[in-house]
Amino acid sequence: MIKPIGATELKPLFVYDTTEHAALTKEAATLPSILISSQAAGNAVMMGGGYFTPLTGFMNVADAVSIAETMKTTSGQFFPVPVLNLVESIDAIKGAERIALRDPNVSGNPVIAIQDVKSIEQVSDAQMKLMTQKVYRTEDMEHPGVKTFNSSGRYAIAGPIKVLNFSYFITDFPDTFRTAVEIRNEITERGWKKVVAFQTRNPMHRAHEELCHMAMDRLGCDGLVIHMLLGKLKKGDIPADVRDNCIRKMVELYFPPNSAMVTGYGFDMLYAGPREAVLHAYFRQNMGATHFIIGRDHAGVGDYYGPFDAQKIFEDEVPKGAMQIEMFMADNTAWSKKMGKVVMMREAPDHTKDDFINLSGTKVREMLGKGEAPPPEFSRPEVAQILMDYYRSTL
């Protein structure tokens, strides 16, 4: 199986040993504690599950800035985005060498991890500006990722962590949330050797489904891991449980047995376009995928990124040899009226815009809200029904 990045085996930071877990839980009650941001909690979950191997915890400012500029830490370890524990106030933990990190996303704010405090630094305006510009390619506070990153606080608490739970993901999505360790184990159990991963934060329409089939056929893959984001999204995005139902129905009806796994991960979307595409590829290698589908405007939002910027970054900016996982670079896919099937648009040069059935997201939402199913060439009827039921329930 493909090796994790920067290590011979995964390094999950979740404390699996029951004796150690019980001792740390008891210790946490005696430690100074601090409420962390939702983004930091998501990063803790990702580190706990082994997705961010070989990270041992939250970065210091020097490493975060170095990663923003070069995608490498000061010691040369490859990583695509800063992973910081930013807080607004450190009054509750001044002088502490070990602290409890409390989860903002669960009632009662239970301890999600224990952190050894190696440093507490105040991030300067210049450093925040540089990281924002490099990672998000904009400083516009209307960008949801920029706003979140710049609203978390300016004190960076660095140091290794030990993760005690997987937040709400394990309770709200018990059939879908999986750690990188669990996905690797299941890939082995299924006997898959060549595996392609598909990232989604949306329900999968016909074009997404066919893109996955295309990638599997062209790459000669044994299996597909549909890996959906279960964390916080921007206003207007489809809730994770609805997406989960849609995708499971599609796989049940339109994929052969033992060809697709439906899984999810706990993380808040960055909407960082190209940089987030690299992060997505990074942790897909760590979970055992050999290939990863990078689509048009991957992980983008609004008009902040060019349609293929998330593909170009792998050629232009990612350090050579940093990852073993291979990219399947995809164009927009849509139903061709001429050919009677879903195709990649760039592979149909004789087509005009009118030769495709390609509805805008706004148009689809309007139709679903009125109880109108999109055409079957755009969306499977069983999936459309789940979405219509959801939209009607919000009226």
Q: Read out DSSP for 151-218? A: TS-SEEEEEEEEE---TTHHHH-TTTB--HHHHHHHHHHHT-SSEEEEEESS---HHHHHHHHHHHHH
Annotation marks residue 332 as catalytic = no
CA–CA distance, 206 with 283 (Å, rounded to integer): 26
Q: Left (φ > 0), alpha (ψ -120 to 50) or beta: where does 139 sit?
A: alpha
Among 201, 245, 358, 365, the active-site one is: 201
Q: What share of the chain is helix, strand, coil (3-state, %, to 5)?
A: 35, 20, 45
Cβ-based neighbours of 79, under 8 Å, separated by 6 or more: 52, 55, 67, 71, 72, 73, 282
Measured in Å, how far apart are the chain's first and last C-alpha atoms?
48
141 C-beta neighbours (distance < 10 Å), count: 11
Annotation marks residue 245 as catalytic = no
Among 109, 190, 202, 358, the active-site one is: 202
What residues act catalytically? 201-202
